[in-house]
Structure 1
Amino acid sequence: MTRLIKSNLLILACLIWASCSTTKSLKPGQYLYTGAEININPDSAVKITDQKEVKEILLDKTRPQPNKSFLGIKYKLGFYNLAGETTKKKGFKHWLRTKMGEPPVLLSEVKIPYNNAVLKSYLISQGYLQSDVVGDTVIKGKKGKAVYTAETGPRYKINSVLFPNDSSGIATIINNNKANSLLKVGDNYDLDVFKNERDRIDNDLKEQGYFYFSPDYLILQVDSTIGKNSVDIRLKVKDIAPDASLKPYTINHINIFPNYSLRRDSALRTASPEIYNDFRIYDPRKTFKAPLFNRLVFFKKDELYNRRDHNQSLNRMVNIGAFQAVKAEFIPLDSFKNNQLDLNIYLTPLKKNSLSFSVTGTSKSNNFVGSELKLTQTTRNVFKGAEQLDVSASGGFESQVGGQSKALNSYSLTLESKLTFPRFITPFKGINTTNAFIPKTIASLSYQLLHRGSLYDINSFKTQFGYKWNENKYKEHSFNPISVNYVTSSLLTSVQTEIDSILKVTPGLKNVLEKQFIIGSTYGFTYTNQFEDFRRNNIYFNGTLETGGNVWGLFAGKNDRGAKVIAGLELNQFIRLEADFRNYYKITKNVIWANRIDLGYGYAYGGQTTLPFVRQFFAGGTNDIRAWAARSIGPGTYYYKNDPLVANGNYIDQSGDIKALISSELRFKLYGRLYGATFVDAGNIWLRKEDKGSPAIGNLPATVGRVGSGFELKNALKELAVGTGVGLRIDATIFVIRLDVAFPIRKPYNEEGKRWVFDQIDFGNNTWRKENLVYNIGIGYPF
């Protein structure tokens, strides 16, 4: 720790030295440019609306930008000067000067007249039509800055809006949709709104067949001479708009080339097409079945062209995952002399077979947590309807060292086959979606081996049949009406004394060793706008509902414990709910505040008091409460300390029916692709009913109860575990390598009044570090 402190002080000293030497390399007559200053109406007591925001926008538009700085220290310029001049094109000094550093930005590079014009143009675009900007430079010592003074004048508002009133088709469409106009009387003059209004009208016209129309053919004439700081706006179609843009077009022939390549272009065009509905399909090899295109192409012969059908058709052909290239070509008949378009669709299929390798991070609370390597064989167009068969083999691992419990190395092996149909397959006809996204029917079969150190193995066989579809680009649904899961487990010892001692330390493990037979249904809903980078605030939500044995229980008998039984196997009956909400707030371009709330609840009935082990919740680990090893927290205030009878020391494997997790993480860019983070995690798991112990079953001995494992709402906040820490991440875009170090600051298993442990933190103490620091290595962000 002392060495780390010394290293940090040395780095800090270098940065301070670098800050002091920013003007070291300047020649006589050169001045370091320190940035711009914006003054808005300095001689007036009246402030414009959103003055602070406008000032930031104007400041961002000035050029050039000064040297980058952190906490006022121009570190990149410092590295540049520290390296000094060098004629070599490689070596440390060259790397330090060109990669870590940047040359000084000089005051002479500032073009005042250019910046004046840019800033004035922006103010005018925002309605300050009488604005003016005057810039000057101020020099102090070897440094200089630019000062811009903006006199905005009043902001103009819209007095009236006049749309075309002639009898043309375009004027009719514009007037029929003017209620949706973005130009509202009383609103501020805003050039961006004017541009968006032209795009809106263009979109309305495209929906009515005006294929060759363009927003550039519209002009907004503004009259600012009417007084009272107002403008009259008149919208009209330019006289230079070509004739082709002024008439609607209908679709003539729809020609589809499903197996297209440039090499085969001539042969395909001269081939005899298959006529199917309104389509002419040029596919001599019969690569795809004709009915597929009913779900991909929304155009019909003789109907008006419209942009919605155009975009939805393209999106479906791209999203179906069968084609590497998609092109739609609209050809006018007779060189614009009539109002018809031929539609040619060129589709180049992906390879029939492909092999892929992936590295991912997993974070499902009811499954393996850590990182995973996966090899997948994909076969496309299995039945000539763009179906896809994926056969995969994957291996996951979990390893943690340090902390108050000794977590064993664990691994999982998974074999899975999944067949995806790009449509709904149901007993009912006519079920389909008409948006841009392809609905999918998915049938899967899998086997997983989960090996938990030298403690136990779990063998899980699962098959399910269901559907996945997008309501829109933000919302995704998944529904599996039938899901069957059979699980067997075994301790990795047959010695009864060892079994007794293991179950003594980990009484909850007895649930793991019971056979589990689950037949049920699942529904999942996901909402996200994370792909919209322009948003300052992005959110993600995933909610799941699972039921087990509800319908099948009606046809099952009962055993002596009152549990439902099918074919001699005890049927698990339960309801399980989980909600995972995440929020990502961009404080600045390179600083993100990420937050997560994950809540889960399970209710078991029909002879069971807890959820089956493979459906229970866990706490701790690389993507959870990082200050504890995986599965080492809870349930509730329960905690079993070291037991000398167990060879692996104080190993704990705990799970529960209820879960609460709250995480907050500040992510910031350090340099290049290196990012840092500070975080706080809080949460716990509980059993719905406190574990009172269980009698002996077969060769499994009776177990004692787990005091404090039950859930009581009034005590939930008091029983939260809290940990904090810091992390480093290498974000290579396609994957993220993560290293987090965390330690507990609140231990729920301590007696009340002593659960916060701030006073025990001692980084210089080797024993404290060994018992409390937990290192997490993962692939991908924790959430």
Structure 2
Amino acid sequence: MRQRIKYGLFILTCFIWAGCSSTKSLKPGQVLYTGAEININPDSSARIDNQKDVKAALEGKTRPRPNKSLLGIKFKLGLYNLAGQPKKPKGGLRNWLRKIGEPPVLLSEVKIPYNNAVLKSYLISQGYLQAEVTGDTVVKGKKGKAVYTANTGNRYKLNNVTFPKDSTGVTAVINETKENTLLKTGENYDLDVFKNERIRIDNDLKEKGYFYFSPDYLILQVDSTIGKNRADIRLKVKDIAPDAGLKPYTINDINIYPNYSLRRDSALRASTPELYKDFKIYDPRKTFKTGLFDRLVFFQKGEYYSRGDHNKSLNRMVNIGVFQAVKAEFLPVDSFKNNQLNLNVYLTPLKKNSLSFSVTGTSKSNNFVGSEIKITQTTRNLFRGAEQLDVSASGGFETQVSGVAKGLNSYSFTTEAKLTFPRFITPFKGLNSTNNFIPKTIASLSYQLLSRGSLYNLNSFKAEFGYNWKESQYKEHTFNPISVNYVTSSVDSLTRDSLFNANPGLQKNLEKQFIIGSNYSFTYTDQMNESQRNNIYFNGTLETGGNVWGMFASKNNEGKKSVFGIPINQFIRVEADLRNYYKITKNIIWANRLNLGYGYAYGNNTSIPFVRQFFAGGTNDIRAFPARSLGPGTYNYRDNPGATENRTYTDQSGDIKAMLNTELRFKLVSILHGALFADAGNVWLRKEDMGSPATPTSEAIPGRPGSGFKFKNALSEMAVGTGAGLRIDATIFVIRLDVAFPVRKPYLPAGQRWVIDQIDFGSKTWRKENLIYNIGIGYPF
């Protein structure tokens, strides 16, 4: 305890030193620059629109930037000053402190006239055409700041927007799309909108064949003398625009070099091409089937050049996964004398075979951590149609580091073969998409052996056939019409009864599972749009088991529908995962998640199979409770008499799940981030587990009281936890440490479930029973 106090005092001393030493090492006459202050229209009581945002934008454009601070303390500057002048040119504590520190930013570095011009230019670009900015410095002791006064005047609005009247050539195309203009009468004057309007017109022209046109060939003439703070806008094509940019081009020859390299350039060009539709394919080695290029190159001979077709072609060639280099070259025929372009497509294939080896660390939601070794053999262009075969084998070891099953070891071995076709393979024709993204048909076969120490072994065989395609950059679909999963287990006969007695529900979970059905998944995300303040992620899945096959299945001796003598699972399972990420500031994000799941079993089963059930608790879930220890419902595995004899397994699962997470994420310093969070939720069985009576060959299995779902009781049976965390976010990986504790325990008697009043961080007993530490890789959601 004393040692911790010493460390705490040392850190506090460092902060105090940093706060007090910001000006201590300044030379005579030097003044520390503390930042810029912006005053907008100080002599007027009227506020401009979005004054707070404009003020922040102006502050961000001033230079230089003052020394960085944390909680108002210029900590980096303090470390720089603490280091003093190093005695050695390299190495040592002083050099290290100066390296991570920051030298003082001086008031003498501030260029007032330059900043005045920059701020005035920005205001004019926003429509304040009569803006004036004056700046000065204010010094107090050894610190000084720059004060800028901006008198904006009234903001101008657009009056009339005029397009070229000429109805021929490029101006005719511009007039065709003027209804889509971004320049609207009555809107604020905004230079960014002007720039985007030029880009819009350029994009429209590129779709019409104007390959050599540029936004720079357009000029927007502004007349702000008409009065009433209005401005007329006249768009025209510059007189100096070159002729090549003012005429549309059509595609002439389309030459494709699928096996291109600089070393073979001359030989390939001299070879005899294979003619396929509008393509000339120079591939003497017959590396690829000619039909592949129908799905990769979207140009046809004689049609106008289109930027859309250009981008789609490049995206598909890059993302198909068999080319390491892609280049599309458009060359004018007869040096601009006519309006034709030859297209040359140069494709350099990746190696046909590659072998990859990886060693990874794992951290899972059930508090298992460990490592895995994986080797993968990849064969590309297997059938000369850009197919890819991946065959992998992996083995791993895990140990549970927290929870009641702490110390439980798990071993696994997995082998998988996956064959991917870059197209739809269906009985129907014409289903291949024509957007930027390549549809895929995927067939996979896998086997996994999982050994949970001395408890049990699981053998899982899975085969799947389906499709994956992107509707757009935001929407993705996965549909597997055929999915077969067979799971069998083995349990030590000497410990079987005690294990099942200690963990009701485990017996059903370890029964043979035969699932044959279909599944569909839809994902929407706009997280790639980092400029947006609010981002959304949604994933919805629907899975059915035994529905179609149940119609043809026969009944076994027990009256259950079966295929090949094995009872099939019949169920419907739906799950929705909705996430929202709101940027409060650049370095503060409020993240929220709502996760709902429901499974309905019928026919042979009263509950959906264990491998499709839902769990609650753990690193990426409700972090204040050990992994998979919550539920179902108000059931408490701790109350089971047999649990005192065998508590090495606590997987509590359910048919229904409801979970809500909220987390405030903020940057502390450099790659170190912090978080405050709260989690709530639980899982339930659709029907309460009543247990099973004793048989001549086995003991009675107790039920799980309170495990059934009742809508009116759902809110009162929710678990709630809260906590804080630290994250090392290095972009390419995230290491997370969260500590959480429960504030509501659903397994306690009604009326006693809120335990906020019992929180006692000073009690060793309370900390041992309630604090849960979670180590994770990546963010929880």
TM-score under structure 2 length normalisation: 0.96
**Alignment match, 1:637:** 634
Residues 717 and 746 in structure 2, CA contact (< 8 A), matched pair in contact too: yes
Match of 2:775 in 1: 777
C-alpha separation in 1, matches of 2:236 and 2:80: 56
Q: How does 1:240-319 map to 2 (within 5 A)?
A: 240-319=240-319
Q: Does 2:682 align with 1:688?
A: no
Residue pair 1:405, 1:632 contacting (<8 A) in 2 also: no
Aligned equivalent of 1:557: 554
In structure 1, the residue matched to 2:219 is 219
Where does residue 616 of structure 1 map in the other structure?
613
Determine helix, strand or coil for the equivalent of 1:446. strand
- Displacement of 1:302: 0.6
In structure 2, the CA distance between the partners of 1:362 and 1:159, relative to structure 1 (3 Å rule), is farther
Structure 1 residue runs of 5 or longer lacking an equivalent are none
Partner of 2:748: 750
2:714 corresponds in structure 1 to 716
Match of 1:766 among 760, 764, 767: 764
Provide the secondary structure at the position in 2 that maps to 1:781: coil
| 2:591 matched residue in structure 1 | 594
Does the Cα contact within 8 Å between 1:84 and 1:93 map onto a contact in 2?
Answer: no
TM-aligned CA deviation for residue 377 of structure 1: 2.0
Matched residues in 1 for 2:777 and 2:535: separation? 22
The alignment yields a C-alpha RMSD, in angstroms, of 2.1
Could you tell me how far 1:403 is from its partner in structure 2?
4.6
Residues 447-472 of structure 1: per-residue CA shift (max 9 Å, x gap): 12233343222211000100000000
Q: Structure 2 CA distance, aligned partners of 1:500 and 1:550? A: 34
Aligned partner of residue 641 in structure 1, secondary structure? helix
1:92, CA displacement in angstroms?
4.1
Cα distance between partner residues in 2 of 1:91 and 1:637 = 60
CA displacement at 1:506 relative to structure 2: 0.6
Q: How many residues align?
A: 779
CA distance in 2, matches of 1:4, 1:271: 77
Q: 1:183 is matched with which residue? A: 183
Q: CA deviation at 1:475?
A: 0.3
Structure 1 position 414, deviation (Å): 2.1
1:569 and 2:569 aligned: no
1:716 and 1:369 mapped to 2: Cα distance?
Answer: 32
3-state secondary structure, aligned to 2:638: coil
- Taking the TM superposition and a 5 Å limit, the aligned residue runs for 1:37-52 are 37-52=37-52
The farther-off stretch of 643-652 and 525-534 is 643-652
Task: Give the corresponding residue for 1:391.
Answer: 391
Structure-2 residue corresponding to 1:703: 701
Summarize deviations over 1:118-143 as a string: whole Å, max 9, x none.
Answer: 00000000000000000000000100
Q: Judge conservation of contact 2:498–2:646 (CA < 8 Å) in 1.
A: no
**How far apart, in 1, do the equivalents of 2:768 and 2:407 lie?**
13
2:130 match: 130
In structure 1, give the amino acid aligned to 2:283.
D
In the alignment, residue 501 of structure 2 is paired with which amino acid? Answer: K
Tell me which residue corresponds to 2:76: 76
Q: CA deviation at 1:97?
A: 2.9
Unaligned runs of 5+ in 2: none
Q: How does 1:51-450 map to 2 (within 5 A)?
A: 51-356=51-356, 357=358, 359=360, 374-395=374-395, 399-403=399-403, 406=406, 408-450=408-450
C-alpha deviation, 1:96, in angstroms: 3.9
**CA shift for structure 1 position 145:** 0.3
SS of the residue 1:334 aligns to: coil
C-alpha change, 1:699 and 1:546, in structure 2 (3 Å) is farther
How far is the alpha carbon of 1:429 from its aligned partner? 1.2
Q: 1:505 aligns with which of 502, 506, 527?
A: 502
Q: CA deviation at 1:637?
A: 0.6
Please point out which of 661, 664, 681 is paired with 2:659.
661
Q: Is the 8 A contact 2:363 2:369 kept in 1?
A: yes
Give the Cα–Cα distance (whole angstroms) in 2 for the partners of residues 454 and 25 of structure 1.
66
Distance in 1 between residues matched to 2:46 and 2:719, nearest whole Å = 53
User: Aligned equivalents of 1:387 and 1:740: distance in 2?
Assistant: 43
Matched-pair identity in %: 73
Q: How far off its partner does 1:396 sit?
A: 5.6
The amino acid across from 1:375 in the alignment is: I
CA contact (8 A) 1:222 1:233 kept: yes
**Contact preservation (8 Å) 1:370, 1:623:** no
Residue 28 in structure 1 maps to residue 28 in structure 2: yes
What is the 5 A alignment of 1:537-548?
Answer: 537-548=534-545
Aligned residues of 1:621 and 1:628 also touching (Cα < 8 A): yes
**One-letter identity of the residue aligned with 2:733:** F
**What displacement does 1:101 show?**
0.8
3-state SS of 1:251 partner: strand
Q: Indicate conservation of the 8 Å contact 2:568/2:604, yes or no.
A: no
Whole-Å Cα distance in 2 between the matches of residues 361 and 196 of structure 1?
46
Q: Which residue of 1 aligns with 2:577?
A: 580
Q: What corresponds to 1:18 in structure 2?
A: 18
Q: Does 1:476 align with 2:498?
A: no
**In 2, Cα distance between equivalents of 1:611 and 1:297:** 47
- The answer to whether the 8 A contact 2:382-2:388 is kept is yes
Structure with larger RCO (C-alpha < 8 A, sep 6+): 1
- The CA deviation at 1:401 is 3.6
Counterpart Cα distance in 2 of 1:709 and 1:2: 47
CA contact (8 A) 2:633 2:717 kept: yes
Amino acid at match of 1:755: R
Q: 1:460-475 alignment to 2 at 5 Å?
A: 460-475=460-475
Q: Specify whether residues 5 and 665 from structure 1 end up closer, same or farther in structure 2 by C-alpha distance, changes over 3 A only.
A: farther
Matching of residue 741 in structure 1 with residue 771 in structure 2 = no
Counterpart position of 2:493: 494
Taking the aligned partners of 1:528 and 1:219, their CA distance within structure 2 comes to 37
CA shift, 1:424, in A, is 0.1
Using the size of structure 1 for normalisation, the TM-score is 0.96
Q: Residues 222 and 697 from structure 1, CA distance in 2 versus in 1: closer, same or farther, beyond 3 angstroms?
A: farther
- Corresponding letter in the other structure for 1:595: N
Q: 1:349 to 1:362 in 2, by over 3 A?
A: farther
Is the 1:402–1:772 contact (alpha carbons within 8 Å) kept by the matching residues of 2? Answer: no
Moved more, 680-689 or 739-748: 739-748
Aligned partners of 1:442, 1:609: CA distance in 2, in Å?
32
Q: Distance in 2 between matches of 1:238 and 1:358?
A: 60
Q: 1:262 & 1:117 partners in 2: Cα distance?
A: 51
